[in-house]
Chains A and B, each alone.
Chain A
Amino acid sequence: MRTTRWAATAAAVTLALAGCSSGGGDDDGGTDGGTDGGGGGTVHLGLEQDVDTLLPMDSNVGDNISVLDVVYDGLVRYDPETTEPYNYVAESVESDDNKVWTITIKPDLTFQNGEPVDANAFARAWNYAAYGPNAMANNYFFERIEGYDAMQGEVDDDGNVVTEPTAEELSGLAVKDDLTLEVTLTAPFAGFSTMLGYTGFFPIAQACLDDIETCATQPIGNGPFQVDEWQQGISLTASRWDEYTLDETPAYDTIEWTEYAGEENWPDFQAGILDVAFPPPAEQAAAAADPSLQERYLESPGAALTYLAFPLYKEGPWQDIEVRKALSMAIDRQGIIDALMPGQRVPADSWVVPDGVPGGEPGTCEWCSFDPDAAKAALDAAGGWPDGETLTIHLGQDETEEALFKAVGDSIQETLGIAYELDPTPDYFARRGARDFDGAFRANWFPDYPLNENYLAPVYASGDEKNGNTNFGYYGEEFEAAVAAGDQSASLDEAIGHYQDAEAALAQDFPTAPLFFSVNSYYFSERLSNVVLDPFSGEPKLRLLEVSDDM
């Protein structure tokens, strides 16, 4: 489940500087040499053990994304402050109509095996990812490119393949010359250039395509670091690639990732083996009380939104917006956070994370603050809650989330007098997809690329006026129109404005109630400086980190 993995990642990704001091790193006489490279030094990071591939087309969890961020370079990269995209491997990304995009690539760039990074390098990666039977995790990112549908097989209701794909390449991809790639989308989309910095759009070498299995564990990148060794499940080492020609390269030589089975790496941080970590709940109070640790603490709003969804495909109280408003206003978001996980969530009053992605603004949700009187009034206006009915809240099985949603239920019960029950279910996704929930349910969203559109269209748009979208049964005419207007805008800024209109339309329709945004927080060691958390992924920016040699 991608989103919980993301959330876990936020706590698990740790970053640390090796003991350059304590004997030049490890004593195996290996690759550490902290003295020869000018900057020198080794950075130690933690990874979750379930990193299972380093193939860009197949990497969609925080951990392999953070490794690939230094091993590969994308066409665009994102500003660490604002998350706005800027060209990196791309010389330019242009379009007159948002439908046909011309991507020009900087000359003379190569992969770590010497192959050129050219238009073909991108085309071969994208074609491989888009080809349905390859079952790549990032397959769906290519839905917007013309010819995607022909590359997917068709299946009957039982999931048996009835037609094989009719194409192996995206018809919307045209290699004009070595450095020019023309991409035709199925419909205009102003945010296309924003998507290009995502891991799924990285290029691959021909040698990688020839032996995908090897490439998944020994990537051939085009970024400032190359993978030296990956002992899957144990550790991963990457070191500086000397022939790197672009500017954004870290000031140290080596990164060593240690893989952790869970999030139990706090003692390692305390012992100086890892230099960035976040403590488990039992240790948080002690860490917060330590003045020296507090000087090395970073906190920033995260991008993951947890919300309460309503089954709009069902008859009953859900159809009445007053009921939905009443339930939302009955939830004491701040009180729940303070009681259960202080500092680790923030109350959400918008559908797009404010400041985390372009276009996000606070306070778009009118009915997201705790107001018992208004909640009761709204419920009265709707004619009250059906007599004798219990409010069921469905969610996946997760201890932390169950505790949170028990508090949400308690808050509703206390304010409105509605009896509730939690239904933690192991097959949450299957049941949600089958519209099997007849009560409210927990949902979560982590965006795929930093643009407010990504919180809106993939979650709520369907174009299906009759049935609404699959998960909630929502359809909003004004919402769909605003999204479409955004997609066709002449500039990204204009598009962002239209997407904000879409969020406003959503706020009036109120199909879901935003509850909490995640928070990214880390402690780091004395040896680290310039630690910047990416506002989008919440992870430390590896290319900006600085490591001091002393101590």
Chain B
Amino acid sequence: MGRYILRRALLGALTLLIVMFVLHLLTTFAIQLNGNPALAFFGDRVPTDAQVAAVEARYGLDDPCYDQTGNPCLGPFVERLGSYAQGDFGTDLRGREVTDIVATAAPNTLKLFAVVTVTWFVLGMGLGSVAARWRGRPTDHGIRMSSVLIDAFPIFVLLLVYRYVFAVPLSGWATSTFGADSMAALWFRPSFDDDHPWATLLVPGILLGLAGSAAFIRLVRASQLEAYTGEHVRTARSRGLPERHVVVHHVVRNSSVPVVTAVGLTFTEALAGAVITEGMMNIYGMGGVLWEAVRASDVALVVGVVTILAAVTVVVMLVVDVAYAALDPRIRYA
């Protein structure tokens, strides 16, 4: 087990390095092809060469390789790796520490993800188990139908409809019924409030979780159906164990392995959803920061944030792999 984790960790580090290098290449080429972001600093004015040079130096883009299309700019990359190794993630174009940005943004995204994950589990395990338990009945059909419907609504449609159609009247109603400072008024606030992160993240998180839950529902249903027909379940029943015990210990637990895998995989997908959710609900989070950084060709910020995200993903994958063992002792690490 220890060796397994070590090997996976080394593999993860290699993945990180590759991710960083590819990102570095992409952003470098973006600058070489799209023009230096330093030029945008001057808007409609025509800057002198000295002014451009000064801003390039301030942006950390004064290495001549950024003006040579096709040059991979290895020098700045190695320099960046060096400072990352010392825990220095640099600053964005305007001098704000990347770590400071991440420290402000990451907690909001993590809170959002917490709500999303809980929603997945509650909806996926709940509805999936019910559908599997009463397979072929109207309940099952209803749940499967709903999961198709959920799939048909992308997250931005859900949020758009929520914000523009439901949030305003709901928050008006909650404010007049329970008062402006009540929890209910915060729940339906049309945008994020940093003083009340959990309350204002609840509805967007549930919506984002809902949008991603369809796959979970079907996955749980399928894997539980398989478990119901399994020999160990038949044996358990034949031993006269109560049905409840059979379902909880032999069906649900055994069907959890693919679900945990899916959580790991969908975690990265949720980040894409987070960009949209954060943008629309005005949540200062990792998705929104990344979005803006890419738009502004902010190399240091893009590479810094994605490196941190990639590190998190690698760790999540590792945790998922380890979780297998806890859930299914048959899995051995060779």
Interface residues of A (CB under 8 A from B): 1-3, 5, 19, 22-23, 26-28, 49-50, 52-53, 132-135, 137, 139-140, 152-155, 157-161, 213, 216, 231-235, 258-262, 264-265, 267-268, 270-273, 283, 426-427, 429-431, 433, 443-446, 458-459, 469-471
B4 at the interface (CB under 8 A from A): no
**B44–A235 touching, CB < 8 Å:** no
A157 to B48, CA, bound (A): 11
Query: Taking A271-B171, A458-B45 as contacts, is the C-beta distance between A265 and B179 under 8 angstroms?
Result: no
Interface 0/1 of B128-165, CB less than 8 Å to A: 00000000000000000000000000000000000110
What chain A residues lie within 8 Å of B55 (beta carbons)?
A: 135
Closest 10 CB pairs of A and B: A2-B43, A427-B35, A22-B180, A267-B190, A430-B35, A27-B181, A52-B94, A135-B58, A135-B54, A152-B50
Query: For residue A154, which residue of chain B has the nearest CB?
Result: B50
What chain A residues lie within 8 Å of B35 (beta carbons)?
A: 426-427, 429-431
Q: Closest CB-CB distance, A332 to chain B, in whole Å?
A: 26
Stretch at the interface among B80-88, B275-283, B313-321: B275-283
What chain B residues lie within 8 Å of A264 (beta carbons)?
A: 163, 191, 279-280, 282
Query: For residue A262, which residue of chain B has the nearest CB?
Result: B279
A324 to B44, CA, bound (A): 22
A459 to B45, CA, bound (A): 8
B265 at the interface (CB under 8 A from A): no
**A19–B284 touching, CB < 8 Å:** no
What chain B residues lie within 8 Å of A133 (beta carbons)?
A: 54, 57
Q: Closest CB-CB distance, B203 to chain A, in whole Å?
A: 13
**B39–A261 touching, CB < 8 Å:** no
Cβ-defined partner of B49 (8 Å) among A3, A22, A159: A159
**B282–A426 touching, CB < 8 Å:** no
Number of A-B contacts (CB under 8 A): 165
What chain B residues lie within 8 Å of A213 (beta carbons)?
A: 95
What chain A residues lie within 8 Å of B77 (beta carbons)?
A: none
What chain B residues lie within 8 Å of A267 (beta carbons)?
A: 163-164, 167-168, 190-191
Query: For residue B168, which residue of chain A has the nearest CB?
Result: A270
**A271–B167 touching, CB < 8 Å:** yes
Q: Closest CB-CB distance, B46 to chain A, in whole Å?
A: 5
Query: Taking A261-B292, A267-B190, A271-B189 as contacts, is the C-beta distance between A19 and B278 under 8 angstroms?
Result: no
Give the residues from 90 to 142 in chain B that come closer than 8 angstroms, CB to CB, to chain A: 92-96, 100-101, 104-105
**B195–A28 touching, CB < 8 Å:** yes
What chain A residues lie within 8 Å of B92 (beta carbons)?
A: 52
Give the residues from 27 to 49 in chain B that come closer than 8 angstroms, CB to CB, to chain A: 33-36, 39-49
**A471–B46 touching, CB < 8 Å:** yes
Q: Closest CB-CB distance, B93 to chain A, in whole Å?
A: 8
A96 to B288, CA, bound (A): 54
20 pairs, A vs B, C-beta closer than 8 Å: A23-B181, A26-B195, A52-B92, A53-B95, A132-B50, A133-B57, A154-B50, A158-B64, A159-B53, A160-B53, A160-B64, A261-B291, A264-B280, A267-B163, A268-B190, A427-B35, A430-B35, A430-B39, A433-B39, A443-B44
**B62–A159 touching, CB < 8 Å:** yes
**B34–A153 touching, CB < 8 Å:** no
Query: For residue A22, which residue of chain B has the nearest CB?
Result: B180
A262 to B163, CA, bound (A): 15
Given contacts A140-B45, A271-B189, 17 further A-B contacts (CB under 8 A): A2-B44, A22-B179, A27-B180, A135-B55, A158-B64, A159-B52, A160-B53, A231-B104, A234-B104, A264-B280, A270-B168, A270-B190, A273-B189, A426-B34, A431-B35, A433-B39, A445-B44
A267 to B160, CA, bound (A): 11
What chain A residues lie within 8 Å of B58 (beta carbons)?
A: 135
**A259–B44 touching, CB < 8 Å:** no
A358 to B195, CA, bound (A): 45
Query: For residue B194, which residue of chain A has the nearest CB?
Result: A234
**B94–A161 touching, CB < 8 Å:** no
**B44–A268 touching, CB < 8 Å:** no
**B191–A273 touching, CB < 8 Å:** yes
A152 to B51, CA, bound (A): 8
Q: Closest CB-CB distance, A234 to chain B, in whole Å?
A: 5
**A22–B96 touching, CB < 8 Å:** no
The B interface, classified by DSSP as helix, strand, loop or mixed, is helix
A101 to B33, CA, bound (A): 46
A264 to B64, CA, bound (A): 39
What chain A residues lie within 8 Å of B42 (beta carbons)?
A: 2, 429
A433 to B94, CA, bound (A): 24
Q: Closest CB-CB distance, A212 to chain B, in whole Å?
A: 9
Q: Closest CB-CB distance, B84 to chain A, in whole Å?
A: 22
B175 at the interface (CB under 8 A from A): yes
What chain A residues lie within 8 Å of B94 (beta carbons)?
A: 52-53
**B54–A153 touching, CB < 8 Å:** yes
Q: Closest CB-CB distance, B95 to chain A, in whole Å?
A: 7
What chain B residues lie within 8 Å of A469 (beta carbons)?
A: 46
Q: Closest CB-CB distance, A231 to chain B, in whole Å?
A: 7
Query: Taking A2-B43, A261-B292, A283-B164 as contacts, is the C-beta distance between A271 and B190 under 8 angstroms?
Result: yes
A458 to B42, CA, bound (A): 13
B289 at the interface (CB under 8 A from A): yes
Query: For residue B39, which residue of chain A has the nearest CB?
Result: A429
Cβ-defined partner of B53 (8 Å) among A2, A139, A153: A153
**B168–A271 touching, CB < 8 Å:** yes
A258 to B93, CA, bound (A): 22
Q: Closest CB-CB distance, B12 to chain A, in whole Å?
A: 30
B258 at the interface (CB under 8 A from A): no
What chain B residues lie within 8 Å of A22 (beta carbons)?
A: 175, 179-181
A210 to B139, CA, bound (A): 70
A458 to B104, CA, bound (A): 41
What chain A residues lie within 8 Å of B47 (beta carbons)?
A: 140
What chain A residues lie within 8 Å of B56 (beta carbons)?
A: 159
**A23–B104 touching, CB < 8 Å:** no
A158 to B49, CA, bound (A): 9
Query: Taking A132-B54, A161-B53, A265-B191 as contacts, is the C-beta distance between A1 and B279 under 8 angstroms?
Result: no
What chain A residues lie within 8 Å of B46 (beta carbons)?
A: 433, 469-471
B172 at the interface (CB under 8 A from A): yes
Most chain B CB neighbours (cut-off 10 Å) among A52, A134, A231: A52
A112 to B299, CA, bound (A): 37
What chain A residues lie within 8 Å of B33 (beta carbons)?
A: 426-427
What chain B residues lie within 8 Å of A160 (beta carbons)?
A: 53, 64
Q: Closest CB-CB distance, A56 to chain B, in whole Å?
A: 15
A57 to B36, CA, bound (A): 22
What chain A residues lie within 8 Å of B40 (beta carbons)?
A: 1, 429
A384 to B98, CA, bound (A): 57
A270 to B164, CA, bound (A): 10
Most chain A CB neighbours (cut-off 10 Å) among B44, B46, B62: B44
**B191–A132 touching, CB < 8 Å:** no
**A268–B191 touching, CB < 8 Å:** yes
Q: Closest CB-CB distance, A232 to chain B, in whole Å?
A: 6
Q: Closest CB-CB distance, A487 to chain B, in whole Å?
A: 19
Q: Closest CB-CB distance, B159 to chain A, in whole Å?
A: 10
Q: Closest CB-CB distance, A307 to chain B, in whole Å?
A: 11
Query: For residue B175, which residue of chain A has the nearest CB?
Result: A22
A213 to B33, CA, bound (A): 32
Query: For residue B100, which residue of chain A has the nearest CB?
Result: A232
**B194–A231 touching, CB < 8 Å:** yes
Q: Closest CB-CB distance, A505 to chain B, in whole Å?
A: 21
**B36–A233 touching, CB < 8 Å:** no
A231 to B103, CA, bound (A): 12
Cβ-defined partner of B279 (8 Å) among A2, A261, A272, A444: A261
A541 to B95, CA, bound (A): 30
Q: Closest CB-CB distance, A151 to chain B, in whole Å?
A: 10
What chain A residues lie within 8 Å of B49 (beta carbons)?
A: 155, 157, 159
Query: Taking A135-B55, A429-B35 as contacts, is the C-beta distance between A23 and B168 under 8 angstroms?
Result: no
What chain A residues lie within 8 Å of B44 (beta carbons)?
A: 1-3, 443-446, 459
Query: Taking A153-B54, A159-B49 as contacts, is the C-beta distance between A234 and B189 under 8 angstroms?
Result: no
